[in-house]
Amino acid sequence: MQTDLPAASSSAPPRYLARRGSVLPFFLLAILIIAIDQLSKYLVHTHMAPGLAGEIPLIGNWLKLHSILNPGMAFGVELLPPPYGKVVLTAFRILAAGGISYYMVYLWRHRAAAGFIACMALILGGAVGNVIDSIFYGVIYHNAPFGSPTPWFFGQVIDMIYVDIFEGFLPASWPLIGGKYLSLWPIFNIADSSIFVGVALILLLQGRFFKQSEQNTAALTAEPPTSELT
C-alpha cells in the first residue's frame, strides 16, 4: 500500500549553513598590529633622540620621524585632567578592547562582512597597543610624568610619525589667529594610525559592508537539496 508523503519543501525547517573558517585570523590581524606598534616604539625609544635633535626626514620635510612622549589620548590630545584622568582613560581603553573583542565574535557568528570585521580588528589592535604603553611604559621605560602617584598606569605613549602639512607663522593680517605659530598635523604612532584607518574604512565602505552582510544573512537559510527529498 502506497502512502503519500507531505511535501518536504513546504514543511521542512530551514537549514542553517555554518560559516566556513574561523574568527581567529581577525584576532591575529589585531595581534600583528600590536606587534608592529610595540616594535616601532621600542626602536624609537632605543635608537632615536627625542625632539628635533633626533628627527629623521623620510619624504622631504613633509613626512618625518620625530620621537615624542604623549601623556594623553590619540594624536596627542589630552581631554581628561591629570593625574587620575590617565587611569580613567586607560580603564576606558581596556573596557573598549574587551567590548570590541566580543563584538568581533558576534559579527562573525552573524555573518557580517569580513572587511568590516577586519576594520574592527585594526581598531582593536590600535587600542590595545596604546593600553600597553599606558600600563607598562612607566615601569619598562621609566617615562611616567614627574609626580605621578605610581609608574604603573601612568606610562606615556611613544609617538613618532610626523606628517607636517603646515608648520610656520600664520599671516599677521588674519583675525584672531594671525601671527601665531601653527603646526597643523599632530605626531602619532602605528596604533593611532590603525584606529584611524579602521574607522575611516568603515565610514567609506559602510554601504558595501552592509550589502555584503545582507547577502551573507540571506544565505543562512536554504532549501534542502532535491536529493534529500526523494
Tens of pLDDT along the chain (230 residues)? 454 544 444 444 444 455 667 899 999 999 999 999 999 999 999 999 998 889 999 988 889 999 999 876 544 455 556 667 778 888 888 999 999 999 999 999 988 999 999 999 999 999 999 999 999 999 999 999 888 888 999 899 999 999 888 777 878 888 877 778 776 777 899 999 999 999 999 999 998 988 887 777 776 655 454 444 44
Residue corresponding to grid cell 605626531: 187
Helix residue ranges per DSSP H, the chain: 8-11, 24-47, 85-109, 114-140, 190-218
Give the N- to C-terminal CA distance of the chain in Å, as an integer: 18
pTM: 0.78
Beta-carbon contacts of residue 177 (< 8 Å; ≥ 6 apart)? 170
- pLDDT score, position 186: 78
For residues 62 and 57, what is the distance between their CA atoms, to the nearest angstrom?
Answer: 8
Which residues form the catalytic set?
Answer: 159, 192
